[in-house]
Structure 1
Amino acid sequence: MRRKITIFGFFSEDSGLTCFIKTNYHALVAEGYDFNIINTANYRPARELKRLGTYYEVPFYFSDINGRNFFQKRKNFIRELKDILEECRNTSQTIHLYLNTLCDPISIILAHKANFNRIITHAYADYTNIFNIAEKQLQYVGRKMVEKYATDYIAVTPEAANFFYSKKLQRSPKFSIIQNGIAVKKQRYHEEQNLYYRKRYGIDSKTFVIGNVGRFINSKNQVFLVECFDLFQKIYPNAKLVFIGDGPMIEDVRQRVYQLNLESKVIFTGYLENTEEVQNIFNVFAYPAISDGLSLSLLHSIANGAMAVVSNTQSQQLKELDGIVSLPIDNAQLWADEFYRLNQRRYNRSIQSEKIMSELIQHGFTISTVSRQLKKLYGRPQWED
């Protein structure tokens, strides 16, 4: 039997992290790697990850410290996770922790207590701009636990690295950046899919479509996007806003749509398995995230040939790509004006798609690049003694 690598993270069905795991780890399985997957998602857990290896599920306790039975839920979570980690340790020497924050470093501490030889922490987000004082203090404690117990330090972007690691750790030979990789050529623009899905969702072929893909959570800032769209459609009425995804804050966004009387102009598709096909209807991909990692949905959309307007909190890696405009998120009118400017721009969507796909390949945003980096990180598949 081969030694397994244990993967830990909050893998909900509609998260970018889950998409990263599904996209890139299938290639590793095909090359002989085996995995234990520990999923802590408490909202739409991605159980399709069972196809990658031995699957465990231990829903994360509620983050609201004022919530009912908070401490009991946390206690139960720790007990269950401890048992799972000890079981995984029977077949695994390495654990790879995909983390959004370090506010509760219990997974790192328990991995150490379970005697994993290698504890890899992976900074998968940057929440610097949305943390309050208390959260920043908790993050500081978590960084100390990383320094004490982790053996390898990975980040998806330099910004996420700064959020998780000290400059000293970033100079360590055990630190590296592994950026997101996608199946680039699969995102190629298809005119026939554009026309098909516009007809399916009742959108005229000449309507200007602004799209957004992602979970409905605070950091994605979709309410702000609704307000930007409201200003834009007042100067260009033949427009639609399409949201693809689901999440705990979807009703807040729906409520804002209702308040602005935009029900006829905003479409909520819900979670889709075929996002790569539906995104062909987008003229512009809008991503006003307050703070985040390296958005896979953004990479998908620009590879598909859509122009993109993103918040200026996004990684510098993205701003170097063609077709992306970066704007501050304190001025909705600025976003509306940019939507109008892009609406007036004329370009060949297929040619733009081919151009950006070439750029993404050149910059290493590919499955093959990520697979090569992960294989280097993990080493060759090992057999039990």
Structure 2
Amino acid sequence: MRKRITVLGFFSEDIGLTCFFKTNYRALLADGYEFNIINIANYRPARELKHFGNYYEVPFYFTDIKDKHFLRKRRAFNHQLHQVYRECLLNSDVIHLYLNMLCDPVSIVYARRLGFDRVIVHAYSNLEGTMNLTSRQLQKVGRRMAEVYGTDFLAVTQGAADFFFSSRIQRSPRFKLLPDGIAVRKQRYHEEQNIYYRKRYDINENDFVIGNIGRFIDVKNQSFLIDSFNLFQKINPNAKLVLIGDGPKLEEVRQKVYQLHLEGRVIFTGYLENTEEVQNIFDVFAYPAESGGLSLALLHSLANGAKAVVSQRQPAEVQTLGAVTALSIDNPQSWADEFHSLSLETNNRFEQSYNTMNELIEKGYTISTSTKLLRKLYGKPQLEDDY
């Protein structure tokens, strides 16, 4: 029986981390690695991850300390996590924690105290711009706890590293940047899918399509995108906006569309499994998110040949890509103006897709690059008798 790597993360069906896990860890399974997966998603958990190893669900509690049930929820989460860790330790001594913040470092502290030899803390997001004073104070405490109880430190971007770790940790050999790897060539532009899905969603061949993929939550900022699109469509009668995803803010965004009389211009598809096909209809991918997490949907659309307009809060690594324009999210008119400028350009979509795929490969956004780093981090798959 092989020793397993235990992996903890917020694996819901419609987020980039789940996509990253499926594409990259499938390759590791083929190499002989085995896993325990602890899913702390508290909405739409990606139960398909059961196929990747021993699977556990420990739904994370909401972190609002003003919630009257806060302490009860936190105790229940801690108790369940403690039990699952105990079970995982029967066949694992390495745990890899994919985290969005450190406001509650219990997953790190328990891991080390209960007996995991290696505790890999992976900074998977940068939420600095969305945190209130209390959250910032808790994050500072969590950073110190991570340094004490963590043994290895990873970050998806430099911004995420700065959000999680001190400069001392970042200078140490225990720290590494690990960019998200995607199946770059799989995202190449397909004209036939563009034609098919435009017909399916009643979009004309000459319509200029702005697309967005993401969960409808405050941090994704779809409401701002509606404001920007409303200004743009007044000067471009062929403009369409396609929003893919669902979430708690979906109805609120729908109401805004109705109030602005944009029903014929804005298309809500709901959650889709086949976004890699539908993205072929996008001329521009718009991503006005308030946080600095790396969007895999953005990388996919870029590889597919779309131009991208993103918020200046996105990772610096993304803003330097050739097809990306970064703008402030303080002024919807600037976004509308950029959409208009892009709509006047004549682009060869096949050529744009080819060039951006090569750029992403050169900068390491590939499965081969990320899995190589993970293999080096985990070491060779070993039988329990080898220890």
TM-score (norm 1): 0.98
Equivalent-residue separation in structure 1 for 2:12 and 2:223 (angstroms): 21
Give deviations 1:212-236, integer Å, cap 9, x for gaps.
0111122111110111000000111
Equivalent-residue separation in structure 1 for 2:24 and 2:254 (angstroms): 33
Correspondence 1:13 to 2:13: yes
Give deviations 1:176-231, integer Å, cap 9, x for gaps.
00001100010010111001001001111111100001111221111101110000
Q: What are the residue-to-residue correspondences of 1:63-142 with 2, within 5 Å?
A: 63-142=63-142
Q: What are the residue-to-residue correspondences of 1:168-317 with 2, within 5 Å?
A: 168-317=168-317
8 Å Cα contact 1:212-1:286 kept in structure 2: yes
Q: Secondary structure at the match of 1:273?
A: coil
Give the count of matched residue pairs.
385
1:375 is matched with 375
The answer for unaligned runs of 5 or more in structure 2 is: none
Equivalent-residue separation in structure 2 for 1:183 and 1:5 (angstroms): 23
CA RMSD in angstroms comes to: 0.9
Correspondence 1:166 to 2:174: no
Q: Secondary structure at the match of 1:257?
A: helix
Amino acid paired to 1:142: G
Between the aligned residues of both structures, percent identity stands at 62
- Cα deviation for residue 65 of structure 1 reads 2.6
- Cα deviation for residue 64 of structure 1 reads 2.8
- Cα deviation for residue 91 of structure 1 reads 0.5
8 Å Cα contact 2:159-2:292 kept in structure 1: no
Q: Secondary structure at the match of 1:235?
A: coil
Q: What are the residue-to-residue correspondences of 1:18-57 with 2, within 5 Å?
A: 18-57=18-57
Q: What are the residue-to-residue correspondences of 1:347-366 with 2, within 5 Å?
A: 347-366=347-366
Equivalent-residue separation in structure 2 for 1:345 and 1:221 (angstroms): 26
1:4 is matched with 4
* Segment of structure 1 superposing worse, 329-338 or 71-80: 71-80
Give deviations 1:235-286, integer Å, cap 9, x for gaps.
1121111111122222222222122121221111111111000000000000
Amino acid paired to 2:194: N
8 Å Cα contact 1:16-1:214 kept in structure 2: no
Give deviations 1:51-83, integer Å, cap 9, x for gaps.
111100011112333335222111111111100
Q: Secondary structure at the match of 2:234?
A: helix
Amino acid paired to 2:317: Q
The answer for unaligned runs of 5 or more in structure 1 is: none
Amino acid paired to 2:183: A
8 Å Cα contact 1:126-1:159 kept in structure 2: yes
Equivalent-residue separation in structure 2 for 1:184 and 1:47 (angstroms): 25
Amino acid paired to 2:247: G
2:335 is matched with 335
Equivalent-residue separation in structure 2 for 1:203 and 1:339 (angstroms): 18
8 Å Cα contact 2:126-2:292 kept in structure 1: yes
Equivalent-residue separation in structure 1 for 2:176 and 2:256 (angstroms): 41
Equivalent-residue separation in structure 1 for 2:347 and 2:147 (angstroms): 50
TM-score (norm 2): 0.98
8 Å Cα contact 1:153-1:174 kept in structure 2: yes
Equivalent-residue separation in structure 2 for 1:214 and 1:22 (angstroms): 18
Amino acid paired to 2:143: R
Equivalent-residue separation in structure 1 for 2:39 and 2:247 (angstroms): 17
- Cα deviation for residue 22 of structure 1 reads 0.8
Give deviations 1:134-191, integer Å, cap 9, x for gaps.
1100000100110110000000000000000000000010000000110001001011
Equivalent-residue separation in structure 2 for 1:127 and 1:220 (angstroms): 12
8 Å Cα contact 1:182-1:365 kept in structure 2: yes
